[in-house]
Amino acid sequence: LQRTLVLVKPDGVARQLTGEVLRRIEAKGYSIAALTMRHADRDLLTAHYAEHEGKPFFEPLLEFMSSGPVVAAIVEGHGVIEGFRTLAGTTNPTSAAPGSIRGDLGREWGTAVVQNLVHGSDAVESAEREIGLWFPQQ
Ligand code: ATP
C-alpha cells in the first residue's frame, strides 16, 4: 500500500477548508493514517522545500508556510501519490481543472507565492522523506 504526505497549507486552514480537503480524500477511498496540526518552523520548511532553495519564490514560500498553522496528514491508498495530486489539481489555481481542490477552491491573490491550499508528495522517495520530517515517530 502506498502512502503520501498531504498538507493543508495556512491559507486552507485559515479559510476553514481542512474538513473539505479531508472529506475529498476519504470520499475517494483513501485512508488517513495520521493527522496533526502544527505551526511549522523555518528548519522544517527549509528541509521540506529543499529542492526549491535558491528559487525566487523560496523566501515568500517559507514566509507563507510559516504564517499560520498547517494540517499534516499521512494518507494511504493504492496509487495515492498520483491520485492525491490529481485530486489537488495543478499548481496554479487559475488553470487547475474544475473538480480538483485547487480548481474548485483555490484563488489567485497576486501574492509572490502561489497560495494553493494543499501540498502532496510527488514520488515515493519524497513521500517517505517528507513523512519522516513531519511525523518523525512514524
Ligand atoms: P506542492 O509541492 O505544494 O504540492 P506543486 O508540486 O504543485 O505543489 P512545486 O513546484 O513543488 O508545486 O512548488 C511548491 C510550492 O511553491 C507550490 O505549491 C506553490 O505554493 C509555490 N510555487 C511553486 N512555483 C511557484 C512560482 N513560480 N511562483 C510562486 N510560487 C510558486
- pLDDT (0 to 100) of residue 117: 98
All structural domains of the chain, each given as residue ranges with its CATH number in brackets, are 2-134 (3.30.70.141)
- pLDDT (0 to 100) of residue 108: 79
39 is catalytic: no
Distance CA 60, CA 29 (A): 34
Output the tens digit of pLDDT for each of the chain's 138 residues.
999 999 999 999 999 999 999 999 999 999 999 999 999 999 999 999 999 999 999 999 999 999 999 999 999 999 999 999 999 999 999 999 999 999 999 987 778 889 999 999 999 999 999 999 999 987
Q: Residue type for 129, please?
A: R
DSSP-based three-state secondary structure for 124: helix
- pLDDT (0 to 100) of residue 67: 97
- pLDDT (0 to 100) of residue 109: 72
Ligand 1 pocket member 96 (CB < 6 A): no
Ligand 1 atom nearest the C-alpha of 119 is 4
Choice from 45, 51, 53, 57 to test ligand 1 binding pocket (greatest atom count within 8 A of CB): 57
Contact 3, 129 (CB under 8 A): no
Residue 63 Cα to ligand 1 midpoint, Å, equals: 13
Ligand 1 pocket member 58 (CB < 6 A): no
Concatenated DSSP letters of 51-113: GGTTSTTHHHHHHHHTSS-EEEEEEEETTHHHHHHHHH--SSTTTSPTTSHHHHH------SS
- pLDDT (0 to 100) of residue 54: 95
Q: What is the 3-state secondary structure (H, E, C) of 40-63?
A: CCHHHHHHHCHHHCCCCCHHHHHH
Ligand 1 pocket member 93 (CB < 6 A): no
Task: Characterise 40 by phi-psi region: left (phi > 0), alpha (psi -120 to 50), beta (else).
Answer: beta
DSSP-based three-state secondary structure for 128: helix
The helix or strand, by DSSP H or E, that contains position 4, with its residue range, turns out to be: strand 2-8
Residue 19 Cα to ligand 1 midpoint, Å, equals: 22
- pLDDT (0 to 100) of residue 107: 86
Ligand 1 pocket member 116 (CB < 6 A): yes
